[in-house]
Amino acid sequence: MRTVRSTAIVGIVLGSDSDLPIMKSAAELLDEWNVPYELTVASAHRTPHRAIQYAATAKQRGLQILIAAAGGAAHLPGVMAALTPLPVIGVPIKTSKLDGLDSLLSIAQMPDGIPVATVAINSAKNAALLACRILGIFQPRIASKMEKYRAHLKKSVESKAKRLDLEGYKKYLKRLS
Amino acid sequence: MRTVRSTAIVGIVLGSDSDLPIMKSAAELLDEWNVPYELTVASAHRTPHRAIQYAATAKQRGLQILIAAAGGAAHLPGVMAALTPLPVIGVPIKTSKLDGLDSLLSIAQMPDGIPVATVAINSAKNAALLACRILGIFQPRIASKMEKYRAHLKKSVESKAKRLDLEGYKKYLKRLS
Amino acid sequence: MRTVRSTAIVGIVLGSDSDLPIMKSAAELLDEWNVPYELTVASAHRTPHRAIQYAATAKQRGLQILIAAAGGAAHLPGVMAALTPLPVIGVPIKTSKLDGLDSLLSIAQMPDGIPVATVAINSAKNAALLACRILGIFQPRIASKMEKYRAHLKKSVESKAKRLDLEGYKKYLKRLS
Amino acid sequence: MRTVRSTAIVGIVLGSDSDLPIMKSAAELLDEWNVPYELTVASAHRTPHRAIQYAATAKQRGLQILIAAAGGAAHLPGVMAALTPLPVIGVPIKTSKLDGLDSLLSIAQMPDGIPVATVAINSAKNAALLACRILGIFQPRIASKMEKYRAHLKKSVESKAKRLDLEGYKKYLKRLS
Amino acid sequence: MRTVRSTAIVGIVLGSDSDLPIMKSAAELLDEWNVPYELTVASAHRTPHRAIQYAATAKQRGLQILIAAAGGAAHLPGVMAALTPLPVIGVPIKTSKLDGLDSLLSIAQMPDGIPVATVAINSAKNAALLACRILGIFQPRIASKMEKYRAHLKKSVESKAKRLDLEGYKKYLKRLS
Amino acid sequence: MRTVRSTAIVGIVLGSDSDLPIMKSAAELLDEWNVPYELTVASAHRTPHRAIQYAATAKQRGLQILIAAAGGAAHLPGVMAALTPLPVIGVPIKTSKLDGLDSLLSIAQMPDGIPVATVAINSAKNAALLACRILGIFQPRIASKMEKYRAHLKKSVESKAKRLDLEGYKKYLKRLS
Amino acid sequence: MRTVRSTAIVGIVLGSDSDLPIMKSAAELLDEWNVPYELTVASAHRTPHRAIQYAATAKQRGLQILIAAAGGAAHLPGVMAALTPLPVIGVPIKTSKLDGLDSLLSIAQMPDGIPVATVAINSAKNAALLACRILGIFQPRIASKMEKYRAHLKKSVESKAKRLDLEGYKKYLKRLS
Amino acid sequence: MRTVRSTAIVGIVLGSDSDLPIMKSAAELLDEWNVPYELTVASAHRTPHRAIQYAATAKQRGLQILIAAAGGAAHLPGVMAALTPLPVIGVPIKTSKLDGLDSLLSIAQMPDGIPVATVAINSAKNAALLACRILGIFQPRIASKMEKYRAHLKKSVESKAKRLDLEGYKKYLKRLS
């Protein structure tokens, strides 16, 4: 499987390859749903020109949504949003210092004019799901995946509830651990 | 001008009509760009059934994106996202107590499975712009508005820079005040 | 032991079964005090209809108090409070990211009109004790349990103080470790 | 109208009379709903014995619920909860310094054993409503008031929504200001 | 060695015996400096009468300074300060949830009228040193201990600096690990 | 009245004369209680040598306690504590930016070895009262003032409670405003 | 006076002209010390190419230090630092929402590799003074200005202290107000 | 290798030798780039005179830049900046309690007049890189090192991006772990 594809409609950009263990959940979901995407590393600080170029050419290369992940003074999502008219989803990565509060504020608190669609700290999966909600507006196939996914979420909770009811919480907990 | 329209593709929902002075910027931008929208009040706490029904029927009524604004323990965007497969944009409203930090965390920190596209505290304009970026993926008219808007942002800053250069900062400041 | 009972007067609802290791302390205390309760999972985000239905029918099913636990953008307690006239006790679950501050603010900062009785982060035991204080208003048996419990808390501290006095802190610490 | 009454079932205690402009909303709601209450000032720090005595005798004097308000290092609700088996509702008062975060944490973060039912910062009304939800468990008159109140909240939002729809947001805003 | 002594001039009070592993540093320093103290457990919440009695009789029993440690909604130091005219030193204990911020604010943010001398989170040693600085005002023996201690702190840093200079940081680090 | 006196036993040091409107409450209380003090300005940053010299000579000049006030990166109390064996009381001054959280953390979070007795943000009065509690250990005249002050605090709250009871909260509030 | 000069060695860049009322203090100090500078507006988000070009050409145009100011998700200083080898001083601008904490974290928490020299929130003057400290390393004229400035700071505090001593704090305060 | 050298132009000062495992990255980078430096320990609190003397004589001893690291109530960088006209770079050290927020605020929030160039929490490497950016203004050798370093950062990210593209994220992740 190649991660950068000419047919990609979602571009996932990591500020650092150390974000990959977190961000792989986004890739996995897009893989599973057959949403063509590409995944690369481009730091707003260490490779600004690469990040700039990536964002500035994203639309003409056929991308429809960007997902950008970064931690600390997390500028990647905002800088990309400044250089593309596409929607940019920002994933604040938890750092070892301020618990991700710095990442969250650096991504969410964008000034008027340039929005970033911020998801929860480390929530790579929600970034992919948000991308799919967006794509689902005009791609019935993805909208239908989303309906199935939501039904699956529901069933999963319901079957847990049923099991918890049958077993009682003590047995349930023992099985969990 | 009617605020609820059968042709609306964006639904703006306020947790309280006291959010309107902030959220009007979203409506104004959509008005200006001729993006059909509807605007209503539906509290997750005071009218849960209304909020639930609104979200649950949003897609079948032809809406493509929801924008939900709320403050404090701000549950409206998350609850709506739980009930629709559409993308939901959340606007954390600044409260008089914790400066909007409570609103931001209540909206951004959604669990895996149900994303909310969070924008900055009070950033109604960015919510509308994010909606337009999303619509622009498949509506060239809106994409083209976005390009013009971004060009306008750029020109506006550049003309300020030019004026600042010509006048010097002292004269510029005097004129501002 | 079944966890859902027709005789239950307290309903414990977990936003996720991953909250069970924390929330079992609430169940244990109610078990010990013979307060009939039921315990289930119902996510405000993954199974909104289940959560809504649970809360909306809670009173007519004979429940008197709800205890709802959730983490992150923790909407379950507030959403339940919106759908029942019963008192709802909210337990903010500590998450791995913002130390539970997000959970606490999402639960405590409810708007005027719909209160949630918030206890400390992860404090499942206090949720159960608060339920018992409430029930104790009109159930002398539970009020009397509460008096015994408070006497026990007192004795437990006093016997520790006595032992600490007798042994000195060095020996006391050695025994502890 | 006397504020301390032998028939009172709710006791409202202010850490300082400077909390009265905020806390009057609690008294007003109880007045309106004909819930007998008493209201007094008793500081955990300036009049500890008064606060202690108040809490320690609350139950035998016929009180069923205490509401305690305090700001900053807000110890009143916790100290009262330590001295009574009754449910204690804590209202964190916003201070001029840390925006009420200190008050909220001082009240909510109680140790295991002694719960305080914490409501939002400055949310006197929710404290009274929570008291009424509790009383409503066994007093049908108050439960019925609560149903009416919740219906009123709902109608109030719905009529605002209708008006907003009819007038459009611009006219609505003009009327508001 | 007995921990409670009739000759004690410093009273160390722990909100819980789980604070002992942190607070032992205070006892150790007072032991080392031959400052007579007593050490006990008295929770403001689980044994309010014990805490109240302790504080209220502290002065007449000959104590000159109280050191009180507590975590979370940490009321012990403030409650003691309300019941004694003696100086009370508060030690905020770090909890597993909010990193001790709750403890710090609950202890430091006392209202006008009743001060608590707050030291750093978990800083039992500084509580003891502060007690000694206070006692040193009128006890030359303790003042002289303080001078020696401060000279020792200085020498300890200087000898580390010298060693770091001689060895270079690489060798120094190797030796440390 | 001269502010610097050879007989002073308390030294109040302001990081800036802009702290005076807050810190005057400390001076007023010491004036009222006839505690000889001196008051001066010495910035840890703008006049480090002055601050150093002040602290280093404080004890030999007869001072027994220092009170130091500072805001933002508030180093004055800690730097003084490093240069004197006397107890140093730190007053965090609220700044216009981070609400005094920066001041509080900069003063309270001292490393082991050098304690600062931190009081609440802007709580000049509590700094003076803490100084008097310390002096009261060995000066019966001041201890007796403290007892009177505490009795006065108590009476003041009690008379407010009585008035509130007599007038009812509505009349009481009207009189207040 | 022109604000952009070919001889400039310091470049002040504002994320928005609304930062000018704060940032003018930097310009004023450089004017006063005869340090040639230029001042312009270039938003990382609204005019990314302008900001990029400015930073990327700064060194070859003869600039030696950049000062960049921004608020909220404040990316300008970091983005500039990514594009120039010159030292970049970042000024976090206080916003109306999170008190400047978002700005501070967005600027200070840069990842390894690309430093930004962060000063205090709104501290335009310190940005200019830091620039002068840097220039003073190799420009004796500026170093000498710095010595004079520091002497002036000292004198200013000392004369205030003297006046405070002579007048007493009451008279001093009256004169201030 | 000696750590204190008469030829040093950068002085690295640690508030405690426990900061060395973090701060060694600064020393390593300066070693690698052949920037003469010295490294020592001098606590603002435990050895104030040593810290004062170090800063006060730094310039005349030929130093051009100071790097100061400290944690908690981190006064070292600010105190040094008060005593030298040289630029002082402050490194906030993460503590075990408040995640380094206390350190960051204690260093960054300096009052007008005395700037500290603050870098990210624990970012010793950025402190050294900032020093080199400053030295690079007038030392072409160091400026050229900086260009190489920036090129190296860029290449390193690019080669990771290439590898990620070739291998796909799954294989890449496996190799990492």
Closest to B85 (Cβ–Cβ): which among A87, A114, A150? A150
- What pLDDT is recorded for position H2? 39
pLDDT of G135 higher than 60? yes
G92, β-bridge pairs = G70
In the structure, what pLDDT confidence band is assigned to residue C5 with cuts at 50, 70 and 90? low
Residues D43-64 have pLDDT tens digits of: 999 999 999 999 999 999 999 9
Outline where DSSP puts E strands in C30-74: 37-41, 65-71
pLDDT at residue H5 greater than cutoff 80: no
The partner residue sitting opposite G129, judged by closest CB among H65, H115, H119, is: H115
pLDDT tens for C97-120 read: 898 999 999 999 999 999 999 999
Closest by Cβ to D40, choosing from F120, F164, F170: F164
Q: What's the mean per-residue pLDDT of chain E? A: 94
Tokens representing F108 are: 């309270």
C54 within 8 A of C68, measured Cβ to Cβ: no
Q: How far apart are CA C69 and CA B101, in angstroms?
A: 21
Per-residue pLDDT at G21 exceeds 80: yes
Beta bridge partners, F67, equal F12, F89
Average pLDDT of every residue of chain D: 94
- pLDDT at residue B5, as a whole number: 59
Residues of E in contact with C158 (CB under 8 A): 47, 50
Instruction: Give me the mean pLDDT over the F141-164 stretch.
Output: 96
Per-residue pLDDT band at C96 (split at 50, 70, 90): confident
Q: What is the pLDDT of residues E35-50, one digit of tens each?
A: 999 999 999 999 999 9
Q: What are the E-state strand segments in chain E?
A: 10-14, 37-41, 65-71, 88-93, 117-118
Q: For E54-80, what is the mean pLDDT? A: 97
- Answer whether E72 sits within 8 Å of C120, measured CB to CB: yes
Q: In angstroms, rounded to a whole number, what is the distance separating the alpha carbons of residues E70 and E72?
A: 7
Tell me: pLDDT of B76 over 80.
Answer: yes
Burial classification of residue H151, based on how many CB atoms lie within 10 Å of its CB (0-12 exposed, 13-18 middle, 19 or more buried): exposed
Beta carbons of C83 and B48 less than 8 Å apart: yes
pLDDT at residue A4 is higher than 90: no
Cα D123 from chain centroid? 7
Tokens 């042709």 correspond to what residue? B7
C14 touches chain B (CB under 8 A): no
Contact F130 E85 (CB under 8 A): no
Long-range Cβ pairs for the range B134-143 (8 Å, 24+): B134/A87, B134/A134, B134/A137, B134/B64, B134/B65, B134/B87, B135/B9, B135/B10, B135/B35, B135/B64, B135/B65, B136/A85, B136/A86, B137/A64, B137/A65, B137/A86, B137/A87, B137/A134, B137/A138, B138/A137, B138/A138, B142/B33, B142/B35, B143/A85
- The verdict on B4 touching D (C-beta cutoff 8 Å) is yes
Six-digit token pair at D85?
């088996």
Q: Do chains D and H touch (3 or more CB pairs under 8 A)?
A: no
More confident residue, A93 or H2: A93
For residue A97, the model assigns a pLDDT of: 82
The pLDDT value recorded for residue H168 is 93
Q: What is the pLDDT of residue D112?
A: 96
3-state SS, residue B147: helix
For the stretch B144-157, pLDDT in tens is 999 999 999 999 99
Kindly report the number of other CB atoms within 10 A of residue F15's CB atom: 29
Q: Return d(Cα C116, Cα E177) in angstroms, integer.
A: 50
Per DSSP bridges, beta strands A65-71 and A117-118 are: unpaired
Beta pairing partners, H37: H10
Q: With an 8 Å Cβ cutoff, is C94 touching chain E? A: yes
Contacts of H172-176 with C-beta under 8 Å, sequence gap 24+, read H172/A17, H172/A20, H173/A20, H173/A21, H173/A24, H176/A17, H176/A20, H176/A21
Asked if the model's pLDDT at residue B3 lies above 70, the reply is no
Cα–Cα distance between E58 and E67 in angstroms, integer? 12
Span A9-68, pLDDT tens digits: 999 999 999 999 999 999 999 999 999 999 999 999 999 999 999 999 999 999 999 999
Taking an 8 Å cut-off on Cβ atoms, the answer to whether C109 and B98 are in contact is yes
Give the closest residue to D106 by CA, choosing from E103, C116, F98: E103
Shortest distance between the Cα of A45 and any Cα of chain B, in A, equals 22
Please report the pLDDT score of residue A139 as a whole number: 96
For C120-145, how does the pLDDT look when each residue is reduced to its tens digit (9 = 90+)?
999 999 999 999 999 999 999 999 99
Residue F177 is predicted with a pLDDT of 78
Helix or strand run (H / E) with residue B93: strand B88-93
Please report the pLDDT score of residue A14 as a whole number.
97
* Contact: E45, D82; criterion CB under 8 Å: yes
Tell me whether chains D and C touch (3+ CB pairs under 8 A).
yes
Task: Name which of C17, C37, C47, C55 is nearest A164 in CA terms.
Answer: C17
DSSP designation for C78: H
CB contact under 8 A, C113 and D125: yes
- pLDDT over 80 (residue E1): no
* Interatomic CA distance for residues G120 and B78, integer angstroms: 36
Which of D66-80, F163-177, G104-118 comes out lowest in average pLDDT? F163-177
Residue type, position C77, single letter:
P
Q: Which of G108, G128, G126, G109 is nearest to G118 (CA)?
A: G108
CB burial readout D86-98, b (16+ within 10 A) else e: bbbbbbbbbbebb
* Reduced DSSP (H G I as helix, E B as strand, rest coil) percent helix, strand, coil of chain F, to 5: 55, 15, 35
Asked whether residue B90 carries a pLDDT value surpassing 90, the answer given is: yes
CA quadruple H101, H104, H107, H111: dihedral sign: negative
How many Å apart are CA G77 and CA G119, to the nearest integer? 11
| pLDDT at position G5 | 58
Residue of E nearest to D49 (CA): E83
Q: How many CB pairs under 8 A join B and C?
A: 107
Residues of G in contact with H138 (CB under 8 A): 137-138
| Contact status, residue A73 vs residue B84, Cβ threshold 8 Å | no
pLDDT of res. A5: 58
A contacts of B116 (beta carbons < 8 Å):
119
pLDDT digits (tens, 9 = 90+) for C11-67: 999 999 999 999 999 999 999 999 999 999 999 999 999 999 999 999 999 999 999
* pLDDT of G1 above 50: no
- The pLDDT of F135-144, averaged and rounded, is 97
- Residue D100 burial (C-beta neighbours within 10 Å; 0-12, 13-18, 19+): buried
pLDDT of residue C176: 81
| Mutation target among H112, H148, H149, H156 for the G interface, most CBs of G within 10 A | H112
Residue H96: the pLDDT is 84
Nearest Cα neighbor of E29 from E142, E139, E106, E159 is: E142
Q: E78: distance to nearest CA of chain C, Å?
A: 19
Q: Which residue has the tokens 């929607």?
A: A87
Q: Which residues pair with E11 in a beta bridge?
A: E38, E66
The pLDDT tens digits for G90-101 are: 999 998 889 899
Is G86 in the A-facing interface, judged by CB distances under 8 Å? no
- Distance between CA atoms of residues C83 and B52, nearest Å: 11
**Crossing angle (nearest 10°) for helices A20-32 and H140-176:** 50
pLDDT tens digit sequence for H121-143? 999 999 999 999 999 999 999 99
- G46 to B157: CB separation less than 8 angstroms, yes or no: yes
> D91 to chain C, minimum CA–CA distance in Å?
10
The DSSP line for chain G is --SS-TT-SEEEEESSGGGHHHHHHHHHHHHHTT--EEEEE--TTTSHHHHHHHHHHHTTTT--EEEEEEESS--HHHHHHHH-SS-EEEEEEPPSSSTTHHHHHHHH-PPTT---EE--TT-HHHHHHHHHHHHHTT-HHHHHHHHHHHHHHHHHHHHHHHHHHHHHHHHHHHHH-
Is the pLDDT assigned to residue C164 strictly greater than 70?
A: yes
E2 has a pLDDT exceeding 70: no
* CB contacts, 8 Å: H74 with chain E: none
CB contact under 8 A, F3 and G120: no
**Count of Cβ atoms closer than 10 Å to residue A147 Cβ:** 13
Q: Compute the nearest-CA separation of F154 from chain G (Å).
A: 29
Do residues D92 and D121 touch, judged by C-beta distance below 8 A?
Answer: yes
Q: What is the mean pLDDT of residues E64-90?
A: 97
Cα–Cα dist H135/H9, whole Å: 9
CA angle H164, H168, H169 (to 5 degrees): 75
Among all residues of chain C, which has the CA nearest to that of D146?
Answer: C85
Given a cut of 60, is residue A3 above it in pLDDT?
no
Would you call C133 and D108 a contact, using CB atoms and an 8 Å cutoff? Answer: no
Per-residue model confidence (pLDDT) at position F176: 81
Choose among B85, B117, B118: nearest Cβ to A146: B85
DSSP-derived letter for residue A55 is: H
